[in-house]
Amino acid sequence: MKVTLGFDDTDSPLGNCTTHLAFSLLSILKEKGWKPLDFPRLIRNNPNVPFKTRGNGSVALTFLVPSSLNFEKIHNELSTWLFNRTADHEMTNPGFILLVGELGSELSSFAQRALIKVLTIDETISLLDHPSVYYSFKGTGQGLIGSLAAIGNELKNDFTYELLAYRIANNRGTKRRIDRESFIRLDDSSFQTFSSYDSDTGRIASVPNGPDPVLYGIRGESANLLISANSVIKQLEKIEGWCVFRTNQGTDEHLVNAFPSLEPYEVSLIEAKVVNEPDIIAGGHTILTLERSSDGSQFHALAYEPSKSFRSTVKELRPDDRLIVGGSIRGVSPSELPTFNIERLDVIEVAPFSRLVNPPCPSCNKRMESDGVNAGYKCKKCKIKDPSATKVPVFESRSLEKGRYLPPIGAHRHLTMPFSRYDLAKQKKTYSTPQWSDFLSIDFSHANKEHVDFE
Ligand code: ATP
């Protein structure tokens, strides 16, 4: 019998991590003799939902188990185990789902919508009220949305892998000790990794900040190659172990499904025309006004200061340039127009752009000065006055090229496809049913041996 467990919203800004709970739970299920049918799946949902702690990630685990098992008891024991380990925080509203068998096509459409829209707890519960489903939650139950979306997203098209290495309990909250060189070299090696190092900012993108238990995460095209890559990373800290997840990270799965929406928090892909020249606002962010091609509605588009070189590209945009922007409308806009955070930019057409400048002196060719309101222009040097002269257009040479622009790797969303994957993503990808050793390694001299009694 196929059984899928899904869970989410177990962490808070103060610690914990849903993938780490998956790592611990997997050690329990391995002990029980459950047979994995898939790698653990780490699904990133709509990156703009206001309830997220970091990257809006949720986890699904799929197994083949005897149909004689008492699923209700297993659900009760595992959810109690999980909820005892979730953060005690107002932003933590965990959900846990156990699905026996399949739930039908509605489930995969729910998962696709979870990538781009803001879904409600009510619509989630109406799908969960089904004889094959056992579910429980704490707090508001918000976590059920990501849990169900993870179960429903079976990554049938493009996918990648991430190997996450976990810190031992005593080290969490302290500065991570990592060998920078190991990560800097990684993406240029033959391990098919991506987004390990952000050469624009010098930041190791594989290493998070903050109190969560992840020491580093390496992303790549193949689980086997990630395990090989991990063995060449110089370990400066002891780890509890590692787990390889199959994931939609780096696939653009959200943008593939997006509409030209101007609704707050929705993932959106909009064809638009530039209305005015970009401006720099407080904090160093670049802002400009765009007009949606479909209906002429206007919105502000923002490139954040941390997006560095991307911001410089946005600064080069001029009125009438045509674009497709990927991103989302902010919840609260700092201006009267809806404000769009740009995550990806396609320049489709670079329009000619001219500025009006003072006319040239007919004698020395230098720019003349105004001779007063409606009084024309004068050249002091040549002592020439021309009362009928007006400003003249001067065309700016446009160095901006048509094409796709992305922020530097360190400012990517988890879902953003980096340029390095563009060719790989076109190839059809498959995977074989994994063995435990294909994705899990736990060192019980550093990790707690967990146990749950459900038989
Ligand atoms: P981490 O990456 O460390 O796991 P997180 O960023 O995933 O943290 P959560 O604490 O899991 O953040 O919070 C995200 C919340 O948003 C969860 O409750 C999840 O169920 C919910 N959620 C996910 N996708 C949607 C969606 N499309 N609509 C509404 N709620 C969603």
Q: Is 52 in the pocket of ligand 1 (CB under 6 A)?
A: yes
pLDDT reading at 276 higher than 70? yes
Predicted pLDDT at 294: 96
Other beta carbons within 10 Å of 257: 14
Task: Express each pLDDT in 407-437 by its tens digit.
Answer: 999 999 999 999 999 999 998 899 999 999 9
**How remote is the CA of residue 143 from the centroid of ligand 1, in Å?**
6
Summarize the confidence of residues 333-355 as an average pLDDT.
92
- Cα 72 to middle of ligand 1, angstroms: 25
Confidence class of residue 97 from pLDDT cuts 50, 70 and 90? very high
CA atoms within 13 A on the CB side of 446: 18
Q: Which of 43, 52, 118 to mutate to test the pocket of ligand 1 (most atoms within 8 A of CB)?
A: 52
Give the ligand 1 atom nearest the CA of 17.
Answer: 3
CA of 11 to the centre of ligand 1 (A): 10
Contact 346, 290 (CB under 8 A): no
Q: Which atom of ligand 1 is nearest to the CA of 10?
A: 10
Q: For the sheet containing 384-386, what is the strand order?
A: 369-370, 377-379, 384-386
- pLDDT (mean) for 306-313: 86
Decide if 234 contacts 183 (C-beta within 8 A). no
With a 6 Å cutoff on the Cβ, whether 93 touches ligand 1 is: yes
How many whole angstroms separate alpha carbon 42 and alpha carbon 246? 6
Measure the CA angle with vertex 48, ends 102 and 213; round to 5°.
75
Report pTM. Answer: 0.94
- Residue 453 has a pLDDT of 84
| Token representation of residue 86 | 């979730």
Q: Give me ligand 1 centre to Cα 17, in Å.
A: 12
Going by alpha carbons, the residue nearest to atom 4 of ligand 1 is: 57
More confident residue, 51 or 73: 73
Is residue 52 very low, low, confident or very high in pLDDT (cuts 50, 70, 90)?
confident
Pocket flag, ligand 1, residue 143 (CB < 6 Å): yes
State yes or no: pLDDT of 11 exceeds 90: no
Query: Please, which pLDDT band fits residue 87 given cuts at 50, 70 and 90?
Result: confident
Ligand 1 contacts CB of residue 9 (under 6 A): yes
Which of 2-16, 144-158, 271-285, 312-326 has the weakest average pLDDT? 2-16
158 φ, ψ (degrees, to nearest 5): -75, 145
Dist. CA 379–CA 364, nearest whole Å:
9
- Is the minimum distance from the CB of 145 to ligand 1 under 6 angstroms? yes
- For residue 266 and ligand 1, the question of a CB distance below 6 A is answered with no
Check residue 15 and give its pLDDT: 66
- How far away, in angstroms, is 53 Cα from ligand 1 center? 7
Residue boundaries of the structural domains of the chain: 2-250+413-442, 254-353+396-411
Instruction: Record the tokens describing residue 75, joined without a space.
Output: 């659900």
State the distance from the centre of ligand 1 to the C-alpha of 95, rounded, in angstroms. Answer: 10
Work out the average pLDDT over 59-67: 97
Compute the mean pLDDT over every residue in the chain, rounded to the nearest whole number.
94
pLDDT of amino acid 279 = 95
pLDDT in tens, 227-263: 999 999 999 999 999 999 999 999 999 999 899 999 9
Task: Please tell me if the CB atom of residue 118 comes closer than 6 angstroms to any atom of ligand 1.
Answer: yes
Q: Could you tell me the distance, in angstroms and rounded to a whole number, from the CA of residue 162 to the centre of ligand 1?
A: 19
* Atom number, ligand 1, closest to the C-alpha of residue 19: 4
% of the chain residues with pLDDT over 70: 99
Q: Residue 52 to residues 10, 45, 198, 263, 265: CA-CA distances in angstroms?
A: 11, 10, 24, 18, 12
Spacing, Cα 158 to ligand 1 middle (Å): 22
Residue 215 CA, ligand 1 centroid: distance in Å: 21
Which CATH architecture best describes the domain 254-353+396-411?
Beta Barrel (2.40)
Q: Ligand 1: distance of its center to the CA of 59 in Å?
A: 11
- Please give the distance, rounded to the nearest whole angstrom, from the Cα atom of residue 122 to the centre of ligand 1: 16
Measure the CA–CA gap between 121 and 113, rounded to whole angstroms. Answer: 14
**Ligand 1 and 57: CB distance under 6 A:** yes
Q: Give residue 234 CA to ligand 1 midpoint distance, Å.
A: 33
Q: Is 11 near ligand 1, meaning CB less than 6 Å away?
A: yes
How is 231-269 classified by DSSP, letter by letter? Answer: HTSPPSS-EEEEEEEEE-TTTTHHHHT-B---SBT-EEE
Question: Architecture of domain 2-250+413-442 in CATH?
Answer: 2-Layer Sandwich (3.30)
Of 51, 54, 138, 153, which is best to mutate to test ligand 1, by the most ligand atoms within 8 angstroms of its C-beta? 51
